[in-house]
Amino acid sequence: MRQLQSYRMFGLALLVGVASVLMVTLHTGQASAQSETAKAIKVSPVRSELTIEAGKSAKVSTFVTNTTKAAVNYKIIENDFVAGDDEGTPSLILDENSYAPTHSLKRFMLPVSGVTVAPGATQQVDITITVPKSAQAGGYFGAVRFVAGANAGSMVNFDASATSLILMTVPGDLVENLSLTNFEVRQNGNAAGNFRNADKLDLLVKFENTGNVQVAPYGKVSVTKGDKVVYSSDFNGGDPRGNVLPDSSRKWTVPLNNIGKFGKYTVHATFSYGTKNKTLDITKTIWIVPTMYIIGAIAALAVIFLILGLLVMLIRAKRANRSRGFRRR
């Protein structure tokens, strides 16, 4: 009996061990496949910009590249998006039946069928945009999202995706109105007018767009000490430039370098935007005064006040002595 029970226990342990190995193998294989397919999508361009007149159509070409070793089916989804935060991050409206409350490009985009892309290949996908005659002038924006489906010939599904943004302008009565709401020199995120040192200084610039079309501000930021320029940097000079969407705000952070250990500095910026190159010009003064300098200045003032106090006491003593001399006479 004992030997029979031992065989049963051994058989049960063997079954559990085999099942565990199979589960680990299956999980590892699925995780490996998911890891590979998570990198299955490369989309270009990341952003497209175009102008379409009311009553006309145009196509935007996007390219999806399959970087895996197996053919992949891609579902193509058109979405609107809005400003997700003040750092320029788009927030996609993922509900297929929902649209942006304003500036919706999805309403003008014709549906697109999915595509199957061979391993290592690139497929061109044309997105047709038809603008009705009744469309108002201004900016419209949307996105084309490529979602990796099942590998061709496989039963494993994935949800990796990549997005290409589209910003469109309908010409006409465009309102380009950008206001500068923040222009602050900061250290470790704290704004001030004077600092103990010049470590990790940056400039926070924030714009608000109250117009009806997206605009991309650009310009130059410089720091001077007296008549000498100690630092200069292009603002929003990338390609493509970052946009501020209508009815939203966006901020940029510009590092400030090459500033000395002591003195008065002037931060100056000139920004331009829009089709008429409107200009915003602003200047801010900051001081770099090390703590030791402050302590030294306080000590020097204390010494000066002490000397003045002693002088006053000496003068009063002399006057008192003179008064006593007159009384004796």
What is the band of 106 on the pLDDT scale with cuts at 50, 70, 90? very high
Does 209 lie in the same domain as 90?
A: no
What residues make up the domain containing 73? 37-170
Count of domains observed in the chain = 2
Does 121 lie in the same domain as 232?
A: no
Q: How confident is the model at residue 321, as a pLDDT?
A: 74
Does 249 lie in the same domain as 144?
A: no
Q: How confident is the model at residue 37, as a pLDDT?
A: 45
- Answer whether residue 31 is part of any domain: no
Average pLDDT of the chain is 85
pLDDT tens digits, 214-228: 999 999 999 999 999
Does 164 lie in the same domain as 69?
A: yes
- Answer whether residue 321 is part of any domain: no
Count CB neighbours of 236 within 10 A.
Answer: 19
pLDDT of 105 above 70: yes
- Answer whether residue 30 is part of any domain: no
Cβ contact 136:170 at 8 Å: yes
Does 98 lie in the same domain as 62?
A: yes
Supply the DSSP symbol for 85: S
pLDDT tens digits, 143-186: 999 999 755 444 334 457 899 999 999 999 999 999 999 999 99
Which residue bears the tokens 């929902």?
A: 98
pTM of the model: 0.77
What is the band of 316 on the pLDDT scale with cuts at 50, 70, 90? confident
pLDDT tens digits, 256-289: 999 999 999 999 999 999 999 999 999 999 999 9
Q: How confident is the model at residue 160, as a pLDDT?
A: 77
- CA 320 to mean position of chain CA atoms: 74
Does 131 lie in the same domain as 205?
A: no
- Answer whether residue 155 is part of any domain: yes
Does 41 lie in the same domain as 157?
A: yes
What is the band of 66 on the pLDDT scale with cuts at 50, 70, 90? very high
- Answer whether residue 224 is part of any domain: yes
204 - beta bridge partners? 184, 253
CATH number, domain of 263, equals 2.60.40.10
Does 185 lie in the same domain as 76?
A: no
Does 185 lie in the same domain as 278?
A: yes
